[in-house]
Structure 1
Amino acid sequence: MSKFLKLSLLLFLFAGVNSFAQKKILVAKTTAEKIVIDGKFNEAVWKDAPLAGDFVMFQPDNGKPIDSSKNTEVRILYDNDAVYIAAVMHDNDPSKIRKEITQRDNVGTADIFGVFINGFNDGQQDFQFFVTAAGVQLDRLATEDGDVSPDNFSQDFSWDAIWDSKVVITDFGWTVEMKIPYAALRFSKENVQTWGLNFYRSIRRDRQHYTWSPIDSEIRSTRNQNGVLEGIENIKTSTRLFFIPYSSYYYENNESGSANKFKAGMDIKYGINDSFTLDAILVPDFGQTRFDNVILNLSPFEQQFSENRPFFTEGTDLFNKGALLYSRRIGGAPRFTPENYDQANETITNTPATVNLLNAVKISGRTKKGLGIGVLNAVTERTYATIQNNTTGEKREGIVEPLTNYNVLVLDQRFNQNSSVTLVNTNTFREGSYRDANVAGLLFDLNTKENSYNLSGDFKYSSITSDGNYDGFKTSLNFEKTSGKYRYTLFGKYLSADYDINDLGIGFQTDYHNIYADFSYRILNPNKIFNTFRTDVKSSLELENTTGKVQDNFANFSAEGNTRKNDYYKFLVQINPLESFDFYQPRVAGRYSYVPRSLTSLFVFSSNYNNTLAIDFNPSAKLYDEKGRKDYGFFFSPRYRINDKILLIYGFNYFRSMNDRGFVAYDGAGIYYAERDIKTITNELSGKFALNNKMTINLTARYYWSFSDNHEFFALQDDGYLSATGFTGAPDENFNVWNFDLSYSWWFAPASQISVLYRNNALDYRNDIRRNIGDNLKNLFDNSLNNIFSVSFRYYIDYNSAKKWF
């Protein structure tokens, strides 16, 4: 081989190795000219702004340069108010640009442009802003690694910033112009700013994702592979103070009568400085939040619900550290029995479903040295239930939730652009002699310089102050290989019996230790069959601390991938090879019940959502090493996109459990189980009609029916096994729930909204099983249908604009 060929080969290899390693740099240009956000870039200053181009594919063919026919060019300007982005997306066939209109933060089937900004350039949190080709805005706080596309909903899309954008479809492709105010970002006080920066483009019809600064998919960590933005200097930011007053009207009608209700309140956002923000809600109103998917809960644990209230979902990345905050505790259902309640002679006739939230405040931000600080405080009011004497009929009130103060403090120190140490503290103070609680956690997340290996873990300590004071702790350690085609995880944890985080967090199981391992393989570039593909082998063993008995165990194998046609497949088979024992099903401390060995299989298919008609199908089955006992079911969901404005999705979920065995009663002397058949059917329908990218009509309906049919009873023995019994005192259960929401939403100005909602809902629980769906619906709608009509108005006021009014 000639010296020239050797040198050429060496340079080629060196270029290939460093195509990911070398971060790109873009210099922003300052402007004194007013920038009009119209997607046309008519201002002369745009022509002199440095150009960011040469995008590289992130998925599916990682590292492949973008085709010249789809060249993408981006420029950045700035002034004392905001940064401005101009992006030109060339397309060799503009007629094929996907542009489905959706609600904000919903990707739909559309091409996308995005910008990722990290004001501290610490590689650990991006403020990400996306615009679809239909002009729909999406934004999120990205703190998790993996897929950078907005299809990755593991990131925090609940965060909503206030910014401006405009899209224009052209004869050569499409353009985006964006204005991102400094109020939507967090950065240091330095006169000379250096930010982490990346640009993103998705070409939906090809399911291809590109970034300006290349991201190596061999490395799990993506945020510290961003490029760098320089040139922003000596900015004089304005006061960050925003008021969002609201007013709401509710009309409610049910079998008890009708009622009108008016509410008014305000959200306040104040920028303490460029790094820290205070959020407060005064007289909150959550009447139009999404309904909860209530189920027939036969488990020993409470049902966990998603958080739908904006204050507790927006920008809460710091407060979610350590998983010690379950915000539904704040303003949730009352949890105490009234004092001096005589169960034999009294009846609780009326208990509020939730506790009123009086106010809530949160402060969060990060210093220039990487210290994140988060403080959250909320107060809920004293809540009473009505108690009636069974003999005299006399009524009195009893406290079911005292006046309560909730607090969360988080200190999160980042370093080395990929590691952190965190201290979390949550506490709950209740008036009077009711229990108080305090939980503290120390977390660490350490990565090697090359982001190839990760070591993480925690130590958490809980202290409950009540009549029976007790303390507990939990600790865990996790080691992972996080790069390359082959990766693995080794994990272990220990929880003491008295570890309790349930005053402000949520935790179901304690008093056990666990070891877990997994090994995975993935392709990093497409092959003849798959765009993406990975296999996983996982194994876990849990042992109860006191007895040493197996509490849970499994080993499974799974394979999943997207085909070249962008259809998704997944297959999983799992074996639970050891007999185990359930320490929670008996509902009595120190008791446990036998769980047989089992075999589970699962299949998932999801066709390409680019198609007008797409289908999700998910059958599953579980066989137990116990005569006649098995579970099976399936989920089926077609979605039909009529056009870019109208989308319909139907979901049908069917589940059967044959000869299940579970707790039904405890009479103080014995614990009784039933052998039962369980059947659950869920029908869901959602529809969207987008009048434009600011105005949508949405429909959500859900009908849930489940019953438990007891056909044989057993007594639980001390060894965890069941024996025959003459007990027959546990009735069957039949449960129906109906929810229907029809809403109109108009974002008539930034962060300003008018919404109209019609909601009806019903719930029917009885102990006689109705196997005919018509009978169930009749009982449901005849006895408990509740109708609500509401109108809500919210208006965003920027202090800097408002002061000009005067």
Structure 2
Amino acid sequence: MPKFYSSYLLFFILLNFCAFGQKKTLQAKYTNESINIDGKITEEAWKTAPLATDFIMYEPDNGKPISESKKTDVKILYDNTAIYVSAILYDDQPTQISRELTNRDEFGVADVFSIFVNGNNDGQQDFRFFVSAAGVQMDCLATETSEDYNWDAIWDSKVKITDIGWVVEMKIPYAALRFSKAAKQTWGLNFTREIKRGDQDQIYTWSFVDAKIGAVITQEGILEGIENIKTPTRLFFIPYTSAYYQKDDYAADKTFKVGMDIKYGINDAFTLDAILVPDFGQTKFDNAILNLEPFEQQFDENRAFFTEATDLFSKGNLFYSRRIGGEPTTEPIVAANEEVTEYPSSTDLLNAVKVSGRTEKGLGIGVLNAITEKTFATIENTDTGETRKEVIEPLVNYNVLVLDQRFNQNSSVSLINTSTVRNGDFRDANVSGLLFDLNTKANTYKLSGDFKYSTVKNNDFYSLLNNGLENYDGYKTQLSFAKTSGKYRYMFSGKYLSENYDINDLGIIFVNNYHSGYAEMSYRIVNPTKNFNSFKASQNINLEIQNTTGKFQEAWYQAKFSAINKKNQYWEGKIQANLFDRYNFYEPRVYGEYVFVPKSFVSYLYFASNDNKKFSIDIDGSIEKFNEDGRIIYAISPAISNRFSDKFSLSYNLIYTRKVNDRGWVGFDGDDIIFAERNREIVDHYFTGKYSITNKMSLNLVARYYWSYAENHEFLTLQDNGHLTTNTTYDKNKNRNFNSWNFDFSYSWWFAPGSELAVLYRNYALESTNIVEKNIQSNLDNVFDTNLTSIFSISLRYYIDYNSLRSKR
């Protein structure tokens, strides 16, 4: 090799080592000047602030420097109240900058700038603040495994489109961050810029993030220069008032509520959140389904208090917040001449409080406590007409405690405890868990695992009647080892759950009493190829064996891939072979019984078109064929979306499933367990519309119509060996036809930071019968002919900063 080229190659290697081998550092500059967040960056302090530039591509071409035409320059100022961020995002095609208006925390099709801040510089959690070219704010709490967009901070931003690109100015109060009380602060820091245009989505970062390394947060740069700040008191009041008018076919009702949420910063690291007189009337509706499974339906959490900043409480998956205020846990005992005339579907939350934060040495502490009200069922004597009340859920105290110690920038050990204490002679429960997540210094290998122990004490007669156990304990343990970097990666995992492991008082678990082994190997590209911007392929094998019988619950091999091609279209596919006969230990609804499930083969394919275009389509489909005559499951889910303008968009999603010769439990006949061979169809229509008047004001429409039926054509009796035989004497009507309708039309105006006026019109209805109706129009008529409930509500929330009150005084 000629000397000139050898020297050039050596220089290039050294340049890359300097650029990528050490962390970038930015100095924040103190200012006494008042910074006006107007997107103009005209204050004198900005002129001398140090500059962060030379962004590097993260996706799709990892490591490629940003072009001069897209140069990005960022600066940070600070005072005793907040940090201030200015960014000039150059663009040689300013008229092509994507800027769809969306609701808060929805990215849409828009260019985005963001700042990632880690106040503890522990490499494990970011506070992320995004602003789109349309001026829409998004924010989240992020770890290596999750991004929590339910967390909403109060901060200010402004963007301006110019003839050289676009400009961002942000003010992030210290109240929106968490950091130590050190005189000299050292924070983890990164900036990102996302460009959505044509056939590519490009993401650039200021501090280079090597895609071959699984950990992202540990590769952030450093923010220095923030010294001797005197942060203001973090005390915020969010009073609210709401009014509801509800009407159905039988009655009308008016409700007026007044309450308050409180947020108090115990110090710069710990925060207390409290609900006084909760109101969840405008939360998103639950998607009701025809549930023929042996397990309860699991719902998403839509209540802000239980979704915001709950990363600590979600560790170990021991906390399912819908337990708080959920269904009563017991049923009343009635005589032969009595019937239950009123059984509430939920319990009322009296109050809730949580404290969370992290010490300077990396110890995270989280405490959550909630109390629900005593709940009664109404029972009527059918002979005399007299009624009586019976407690179906007493006063209940729920508590969650989490201690999470982080170390070495990428590892942690956690201790979790959840407890449910019911007043009086009712069931109590306690669960404790120890977790660890250990990574090598280079984030190449990971060893993780847990040990969890549950204790249940049944004091009430109904619980004893239900499972025959007064007190019982159980445990679960798991150990995993993985290679987490490079193009080729792998993971091995094993776990054991004992027969009486039960976390369902404050968590949720469906299956226990088994041990399992799992293995995965994967390959991915880091930089684009001729055909793909990204590509990943993996193979997995999973075996689950029931402890008592030694029979397989699950046994499958899976191969799958995901890819983004040069047209920015996403493809995903999977084949799964369920290699052995399996047994379901829950479908029979009787302890110790099980039903045979034959071998099967699954194929799945998903396609999503380029969503940068105004019209986009997603579609996925799957087929599962069982090794049993005529038994098959088809599923298809098309979705279309049209962005008529940057303000107005509509989308429609259909989820269709057909199960032919499905087999499932339908009831009991004396000591016999009765199954049915049946055909099932599930049709779920989901329609959404959005019109954004401004980046703080919008109209939103969500409509859902769900229809499902189960039509039995042969009854079967479960045998002791798990197989089914024909039953010719069982003649009960166990068919099911279920319709559900939900409609929400809302107006939202964020008229000040953290303050919102919301108006909602909602109607909904349910219809359930054992008469199968296969005509879609007849089903629609039936559900609208039932008791259609309509609700009109207005809610006003106002965010008050204690410091603003003090300054005015």
State how far apart, in whole Å, the 1-side matches of 2:397 and 2:707 are.
Answer: 38
Identity of aligned residues (%): 58
State how far apart, in whole Å, the 2-side matches of 1:614 and 1:253 are.
Answer: 39
Quick check: 1:622 aligned with 2:624? yes
**Equivalent residues of 1:754, 1:792 under 8 A apart:** yes
Give the aligned residue type for 2:797: R
Aligned pairs for 1:213-612 within 5 A? 213-338=207-332, 340-342=333-335, 344-467=336-459, 468-612=470-614
Alignment correspondent of 1:742: 745
Q: Which of the residues 790, 794, 797 maps onto 1:791?
A: 794
1:13 is displaced (CA, Å) by 2.6
Deviations 1:439-489 (A, max 9, x none): 000000000000001110100000001141000000001111100000111
State how far apart, in whole Å, the 2-side matches of 1:655 and 1:17 are.
Answer: 53
Secondary structure in 2 matching 1:207: strand
Quick check: 1:127 aligned with 2:121? no
- Note the residue ranges of structure 2 that are not aligned, 5 or more in a row: 460-469
**Equivalent residues of 1:664, 1:730 under 8 A apart:** no
Give the aligned residue type for 1:136: V
**Equivalent residues of 2:669, 2:730 under 8 A apart:** no
Deviations 1:320-343 (A, max 9, x none): 0000000000001112112x433x
Secondary structure in 1 matching 2:786: helix
Q: Which of the residues 754, 757, 762 maps onto 1:759?
A: 762
Backbone CA RMSD of aligned residues: 1.0
State how far apart, in whole Å, the 2-side matches of 1:538 and 1:659 are.
Answer: 29
Q: Which moved more, 1:215-224 or 1:15-24?
A: 15-24
Alignment correspondent of 1:150: none
1:144 is displaced (CA, Å) by 2.5
Alignment correspondent of 1:659: 661
State how far apart, in whole Å, the 2-side matches of 1:81 and 1:778 are.
Answer: 59
State how far apart, in whole Å, the 1-side matches of 2:21 and 2:552 are.
Answer: 47
Q: Which of the residues 773, 776, 781 maps onto 1:773?
A: 776
Give the aligned residue type for 2:450: D
Alignment correspondent of 2:465: none
State how far apart, in whole Å, the 1-side matches of 2:733 and 2:602 are.
Answer: 30
State how far apart, in whole Å, the 1-side matches of 2:415 and 2:262 are.
Answer: 27
Give the aligned residue type for 1:654: Y
State how far apart, in whole Å, the 2-side matches of 1:682 and 1:743 are.
Answer: 22
State how far apart, in whole Å, the 2-side matches of 1:697 and 1:523 are.
Answer: 41
**Equivalent residues of 2:82, 2:173 under 8 A apart:** yes
State how far apart, in whole Å, the 2-side matches of 1:730 and 1:155 are.
Answer: 47
State how far apart, in whole Å, the 2-side matches of 1:797 and 1:95 are.
Answer: 39
State how far apart, in whole Å, the 1-side matches of 2:381 and 2:601 are.
Answer: 52
Secondary structure in 2 matching 1:204: strand
State how far apart, in whole Å, the 2-side matches of 1:127 and 1:355 are.
Answer: 34
State how far apart, in whole Å, the 2-side matches of 1:21 and 1:317 are.
Answer: 31
State how far apart, in whole Å, the 1-side matches of 2:114 and 2:60 are.
Answer: 18
Quick check: 1:186 aligned with 2:178? yes
State how far apart, in whole Å, the 2-side matches of 1:674 and 1:709 are.
Answer: 9
Give the aligned residue type for 1:78: Y
Alignment correspondent of 1:151: none
State how far apart, in whole Å, the 2-side matches of 1:442 and 1:20 are.
Answer: 36
Q: 1:167 to 1:573 in 2, by over 3 A?
A: same
1:5 is displaced (CA, Å) by 4.3
Alignment correspondent of 1:81: 81
**Equivalent residues of 1:665, 1:730 under 8 A apart:** no
Secondary structure in 2 matching 1:780: helix
Alignment correspondent of 1:34: 34
Give the aligned residue type for 1:453: Y
Deviations 1:765-788 (A, max 9, x none): 001011111211111111220000
State how far apart, in whole Å, the 2-side matches of 1:20 and 1:302 are.
Answer: 50
State how far apart, in whole Å, the 2-side matches of 1:572 and 1:425 are.
Answer: 38
Q: 1:682 to 1:175 in 2, by over 3 A?
A: same
Alignment correspondent of 1:136: 136
Alignment correspondent of 2:48: 48
Secondary structure in 2 matching 1:787: strand
1:4 is displaced (CA, Å) by 5.5
State how far apart, in whole Å, the 2-side matches of 1:289 and 1:520 are.
Answer: 40
State how far apart, in whole Å, the 2-side matches of 1:7 and 1:770 are.
Answer: 79
Give the aligned residue type for 2:233: T
State how far apart, in whole Å, the 2-side matches of 1:14 and 1:421 are.
Answer: 38
Q: Which of the residues 203, 212, 226 maps onto 1:209?
A: 203
Secondary structure in 2 matching 1:45: helix
Q: 1:18 to 1:389 in 2, by over 3 A?
A: farther
Alignment correspondent of 1:148: none
Secondary structure in 2 matching 1:677: strand
Alignment correspondent of 2:463: none
Deviations 1:308-365 (A, max 9, x none): 0000000000000000000000001112112x433x3321111112110000000000
Give the aligned residue type for 2:214: R
**Equivalent residues of 2:318, 2:418 under 8 A apart:** yes
Q: Which moved more, 1:345-354 or 1:588-597?
A: 345-354
State how far apart, in whole Å, the 1-side matches of 2:70 and 2:62 are.
Answer: 17
Secondary structure in 1 matching 2:147: coil
State how far apart, in whole Å, the 2-side matches of 1:56 and 1:766 are.
Answer: 60
1:729 is displaced (CA, Å) by 2.1
State how far apart, in whole Å, the 2-side matches of 1:653 and 1:277 are.
Answer: 42
Secondary structure in 1 matching 2:702: strand
Secondary structure in 2 matching 1:784: coil
State how far apart, in whole Å, the 1-side matches of 2:781 and 2:76 are.
Answer: 61
Q: Which moved more, 1:646-655 or 1:179-188?
A: 646-655
State how far apart, in whole Å, the 2-side matches of 1:256 and 1:520 are.
Answer: 59
State how far apart, in whole Å, the 1-side matches of 2:626 and 2:494 are.
Answer: 27
**Equivalent residues of 2:733, 2:770 under 8 A apart:** no
Alignment correspondent of 1:149: none
Alignment correspondent of 2:464: none
Quick check: 1:9 aligned with 2:9? yes
Give the aligned residue type for 2:572: K
Q: Which moved more, 1:390-399 or 1:290-299?
A: 390-399
1:619 is displaced (CA, Å) by 1.2
Give the alignment's TM-score, normalised by structure 2: 0.97
Secondary structure in 2 matching 1:719: coil
